[in-house]
């Protein structure tokens, strides 16, 4: 039996944009042929499976030319009863990870990928309660979950979903970790950064970019590599030197104007820590240990993490957990702390006329909700203060702050091979952005930025500009002397 559909109608049904449906058709995720009258044809069974995958109820419309009766009588897969062994889950480490669950459904109602693969956060927790460890580890769902913590925010009994998901991920055979996540971890351990950039190449790149910057508008600038006694040690997200090295300059430009004393280490400069995503505590600890070594070696007072939610979260978490004594030696700061320090002390001056379009801000889960829970401190007000210093036309999305939605690419899913789910996940963020009416979205995280800029913007026809916060501030700098 064939199922006829129009792209628009299909998109509405799945809550995504028509672009996404076209992409699915073009990429073969959705096996459909174009038919007459701008309609597509697909096998009904394929449609049903797609519905299953995204947790939707098959929706029959007269235009679909499907006989409702045949569907109703179609045999429902009668699942055999699951024999409860009574064995306790080894994944759930504490009653608060699963056993305390009220099965109230709050998490499943909120989670943007509830229903995908027939699972949702509540089912994951339930499986842990029933001790179904093997099935949990075998499932891809925990790798599609972005560990955004939206479920945790509202959970009335405080189930530790993220910890559980991370434990499940960590229990998977390393060779079966989806996508490049585990490769990134190994690479970082072996070569010092996630993308394996050799030391010489990195140093050369930094010096070269520094020279460029001094020629452009920061006269006398030299990239301070391995400077002993600098106040601030700066870590970098390896994606920047690898893919968009120009963007390093924005940050340096701000330092230049602020007259900061700073340095980049020549080795172990990567702030990224994918052990957080893969559930690999050992790797996570090693990477943070190297940063601590750098801080000690170069005798810096302030550790600056890159504009990257997970990098900050993982590093601060790891420092608290494994290197509490190091935190007595130096202070860990985010770009928000530092930028606000510059703005409030008048070290940099910003021009609000350079960005006249309406601007909104996307809360990174790691800087926001998850930090609030883990550290009792979130960055909700600070970025907004910074943006307001650069623009008179700021508006929030709804909801925002602690209740904000994940971009859809957190938890390493930007790199995972589950693109359809990631785009599907992002439909809520896309709706929030378009409802806000903003023409520019400031995104303080590499994953979020890539998802919003490279994926959602196209999939959902958002027509927005996306900037990092540092980029916005650098672009708003009043040139010295003016």
Partner 1 sequence: MTEGKKIGSVMIVGGGVAGIQAALDLADSGFYVYLIEKTGAIGGTMVQLDKTFPTNDCSMCIIAPKLVECGRHLNIHLLTLCEVTEITGVAGDFAVTLRQSPRYVDMNKCIACGICTDVCPKKIDNDHDSGIGKRRAIYLRYPQAVPLKYQIDPAACIGLQRPGTCGFCEKVCDAGAINFADVEKIHRINVGAVILAPGFEVFDPKPSGMWGYGTNANIITSLQLERYLSTSGPTEGHLKRPLDGKPVRKMAFLQCVGSRDENLCGNGYCSSVCCMSAIKEAVLAKDHVPGLQTSIFYMDMRTHGKGFDQYLEQARSEAGVRFVRCRMGGVETDGESGDLRLRYVNENGRQIEEFFDLVVLAVGLQTPKHVLGLAHVADIKLTADNFAATSDFAPVKTSREGIFTCGAIAGPKDIPQSVVEGSAAAAAVAELLAPARNELTVLPKFPEERDISGEEVRIGIFICHCGTNIAGVVDVKVLAEYVMTLPDVVHVDRKLFSCSQDSQESIIQLIHEHRLNRIVIAACTPRTHEPLFRETLKVAGLNECLLEMANIRNHNAWVHGNNPTGATNKAKDLVRMAVAKVTFGQSSQAIAVPVFQKGLVIGGGVAGMTAALNLAQQGFEVHLVERTDTLGGNALNIKYTWGGEHVRTQVAKLIDKVIWNDRIVIHKESIVTGVAGFIGNFHSTITSKNGETKVIEHGAGIVAIGGEAAVPSEYSYGSITGVVTSVQFDKLHELKEKHVKLAKRFVFIQCVGSREEGHMYCSKVCCTHSVQSAITLKKENPDRNVYILYRDMRTYGQRESLYKEARKLGIIFINYELHGKPRVTGRGAEIEVEVWDHVLHQPLLIAAYMVILAVAIRPRQDAEKIGTLYKVPVDGHGFFHEAHGKLRPVDFSTEGMFVAGLAHYPKPVEESVAQALAASARAATILAQPEVKLDTIKAIVDDEFCDGCALCIDVCPYHAITLFEQAAVDGEAPKKLVRVNVAQCKGCGICQGTCPKRGIYVVGFTMKQVVAQLQAALAG
Binding site for partner 1 (CB under 8 A): 15, 55-57, 79-84, 86, 88, 95, 99-111, 114-115, 118, 120, 122-123, 126-127, 129-130, 153-158, 398-399, 401-403, 435
Token pair 């391995």 is found at 226
Token pair 């989806």 is found at 178
Q: Rounded CA gap, 365 and 461, in Å?
A: 24
Token pair 């960590």 is found at 170
In whole angstroms, how close is the CB of 113 to partner 1 at the nearest point? Answer: 9
Which lies closer to partner 1 via its Cβ, residue 158 or residue 243? Answer: 158
In whole angstroms, how close is the CB of 425 to partner 1 at the nearest point? Answer: 12
Burial label for 441, CB within 10 Å (0-12, 13-18, 19+), is buried
Which lies closer to partner 1 via its Cβ, residue 151 or residue 469? Answer: 151
Which lies closer to partner 1 via its Cβ, residue 159 or residue 359? Answer: 159
In whole angstroms, how close is the CB of 367 to partner 1 at the nearest point? Answer: 18
Report how far apart, in Å, the C-alpha atoms of 339 and of each of 200, 254, 408, 471 are.
30, 9, 27, 12
Q: Rounded CA gap, 83 and 76, in Å?
A: 20
In whole angstroms, how close is the CB of 444 to partner 1 at the nearest point? Answer: 21
Rounded to 10 degrees, the C-alpha dihedral 279/283/284/290 comes to -170
Which lies closer to partner 1 via its Cβ, residue 131 or residue 192? Answer: 131
In whole angstroms, how close is the CB of 178 to partner 1 at the nearest point? Answer: 23
Name the nearest CA neighbour of 135 among 147, 122, 124, 121: 124
In whole angstroms, how close is the CB of 71 to partner 1 at the nearest point? Answer: 15
Which lies closer to partner 1 via its Cβ, residue 127 or residue 234? Answer: 127
| Three-class DSSP category at 29 | coil
Residue 357's DSSP bridge partners are none
Which lies closer to partner 1 via its Cβ, residue 12 or residue 226? Answer: 12
Evaluate the omega torsion of the peptide bond into residue 399 and state whether it is cis, within 30 degrees of 0. yes
Which lies closer to partner 1 via its Cβ, residue 110 or residue 390? Answer: 110
In whole angstroms, how close is the CB of 289 to partner 1 at the nearest point? Answer: 34
Residue 207's DSSP bridge partners are none
Q: Rounded CA gap, 149 and 383, in Å?
A: 20
């Amino acid at each position: 039996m064939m199922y006829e559909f129009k792209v628009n109608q299909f998109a509405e049904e799945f809550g995504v944009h028509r672009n996404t449906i076209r992409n699915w058709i073009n990429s073969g995720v959705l096996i459909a042929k174009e038919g007459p009258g701008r309609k597509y044809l697909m096998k009904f069974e394929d449609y049903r499976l797609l519905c299953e995958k995204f947790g939707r109820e098959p929706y029959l419309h007269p235009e679909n030319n499907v006989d409702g009766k045949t569907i109703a009588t179609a045999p429902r897969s009668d699942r055999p009863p699951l024999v409860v062994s009574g064995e306790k889950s080894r994944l759930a480490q504490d009653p608060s990870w699963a056993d305390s669950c009220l099965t109230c459904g709050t998490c499943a109602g909120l989670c943007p990928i509830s229903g995908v693969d027939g699972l949702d956060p509540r089912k994951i927790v339930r499986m842990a309660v029933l001790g179904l460890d093997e099935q949990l580890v075998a499932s891809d769902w925990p790798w599609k979950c972005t560990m955004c913590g939206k479920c945790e925010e509202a959970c009335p009994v405080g189930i530790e979903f993220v910890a559980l998901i991370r434990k499940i991920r960590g229990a998977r055979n390393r060779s079966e970790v989806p996508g490049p996540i585990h490769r990134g971890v190994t690479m970082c351990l072996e070569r010092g950064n996630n993308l394996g950039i050799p030391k010489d190449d990195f140093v050369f790149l930094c010096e070269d970019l520094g020279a460029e910057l001094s020629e452009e508008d920061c006269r006398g600038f030299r990239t301070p590599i391995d400077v002993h006694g600098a106040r601030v040690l700066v870590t970098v997200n390896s994606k920047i030197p690898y893919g968009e090295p120009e963007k390093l300059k924005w940050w340096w430009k701000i330092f230049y104007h602020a007259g900061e004393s700073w340095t980049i280490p020549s080795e172990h400069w990567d702030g990224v820590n994918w052990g957080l995503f893969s559930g690999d505590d050992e790797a996570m600890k090693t990477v943070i240990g190297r940063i601590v070594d750098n801080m000690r070696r170069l005798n810096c007072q302030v550790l600056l993490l890159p504009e990257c939610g997970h990098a900050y979260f993982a590093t601060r978490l790891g420092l608290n957990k494994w290197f509490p004594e190091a935190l007595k030696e130096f202070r860990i700061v985010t770009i928000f702390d530092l930028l606000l320090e510059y703005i409030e002390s008048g070290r940099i001056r910003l021009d609000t006329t350079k960005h006249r379009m309406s601007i909104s801000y996307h809360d990174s889960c790691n800087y926001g909700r998850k930090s609030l829970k883990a550290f009792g401190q979130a960055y909700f007000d600070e970025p907004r203060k910074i943006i307001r210093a650069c623009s008179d036309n700021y508006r929030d999305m709804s909801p925002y702050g602690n209740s904000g939605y994940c971009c859809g690419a957190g938890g390493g899913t930007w790199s995972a091979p589950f693109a359809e789910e990631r785009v599907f996940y992002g439909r809520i963020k896309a709706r929030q952005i378009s409802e806000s009416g903003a023409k520019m979205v400031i995104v303080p995280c590499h994953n979020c930025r890539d998802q919003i800029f490279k994926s959602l913007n196209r999939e959902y026809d958002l027509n927005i500009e996306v900037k990092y916060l540092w980029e916005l501030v650098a672009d708003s700098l009043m040139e010295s002397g003016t």
